[in-house]
Amino acid sequence: MRVEHIYRYPVKGFSAEALEEVTLTPGECLPHDRRFALAQADSGFDTAAPVWMRKTNFACLMANARLAKLHTAYDPHTGEWVIRPTGGEPFIANIHTEAGRAAAEAWMTRFMAEEARGPLRFVEAPGYNFTDIPQKSVSIISLASLHALERAAGMRLDPIRFRANIYVSGGKEWGDFDLMGQEIQLGQAKLRVWKRIVRCPATEVNPDTAERDAKPPRVLRENFGHADLGVQAEVLEGGRVAVGDSLEAFAPT
């Protein structure tokens, strides 16, 4: 299999950012992946003592499809976060500063309207990632499996619906599930595949229109007997991964 796309999602629930290459670190997510989130006022998330919480404690596509109407970009060097709403003026804030985070909180609270359960908080906790599972992983999707889902659904499904880090071509449909428990070489990095990804209603949201125009979890269950697409992999040995690199499984011992 071959790496076709690499993405990070700096702010949970917001735009994917394409990368040509990335350096993975043992036991970590992609750099800056889900580094920030907008916490609902009633979440109780404590940045000084962070513990994993379900996605509904934060602004997320599963509950807040309107987030797909925003196109965002983050510069980790300057701290600048840009929001480009459809048909509106861009908003820019430095989210590395208290004043910038406060401005982003106010802007997003207004945008979320009734879906904001009080004033939102722009949160970050060093060493913490706002992922959908407690364990730090790299998510990988086989495009062959995605194409099988598209045929069953009778429509094209933008890969970004599924918000994975790595998309690979080649291999057989659902062949990534055969990697469960195995170690893989991904570019210069070594990972262990440990979990299939169960898909949720966030995948119903069209990333271009913000409309819920598909039912991937239901199509998966009705046609394949499960609601899974993609796998999670733990980074065992770090290294560079670039578009065009191969994914190879080590022979089972």
Residue 27, token pair as written in the block: 């036991």
Each residue's pLDDT expressed in tens, for the chain with a length of 253 residues: 999 999 999 999 999 999 999 999 999 999 999 999 999 999 999 999 999 999 999 999 999 999 999 999 999 999 999 999 988 899 999 999 999 999 999 999 999 999 999 999 999 999 999 999 999 999 999 999 999 999 999 999 999 999 999 999 998 999 999 999 999 999 999 999 999 999 999 999 999 899 999 999 999 999 999 999 999 999 999 999 999 999 999 865 5
Of residues 32, 20, 9, 29, the one with CA closest to residue 207: 9
CA dihedral defined by 43, 59, 124, 41, rounded to 10 degrees?
Answer: -30
According to the model, what pLDDT value does residue 88 have? 82
Residue identified by tokens 């819920």 is: 212
Could you tell me if 237 and 194 are in contact, meaning their C-beta atoms sit under 8 angstroms apart? no
Residue 185 carries which DSSP code? Answer: E
Residue identified by tokens 């271009």 is: 208
Residues paired with 81 in a beta bridge? 74, 93
pTM of the model: 0.94
Round to whole Å and give the CA distance between 111 and 98: 20
Could you tell me if 27 and 109 are in contact, meaning their C-beta atoms sit under 8 angstroms apart? no
Q: How far is CA 3 from the centre of its chain?
A: 17
- Taken in order of first residue, the domains within the chain and their CATH numbers are 2-28+133-249 (2.40.33.20), 37-123 (no CATH)
Residue 246, token pair as written in the block: 């191969």
Round to whole Å and give the CA distance between 30 and 165: 8
According to the model, what pLDDT value does residue 234 have? 97
Sign of the dihedral defined by the CA atoms of residues 94, 99, 105, 111, in that order: negative
Bridge-based pairing of strands 91-94 and 183-186 is unpaired
Residues composing the chain: 253
Bridge-based pairing of strands 166-169 and 138-142 is parallel
Integer angstrom CA distances of residue 213 from 62, 68, 204:
13, 13, 6
According to the model, what pLDDT value does residue 250 have? 81
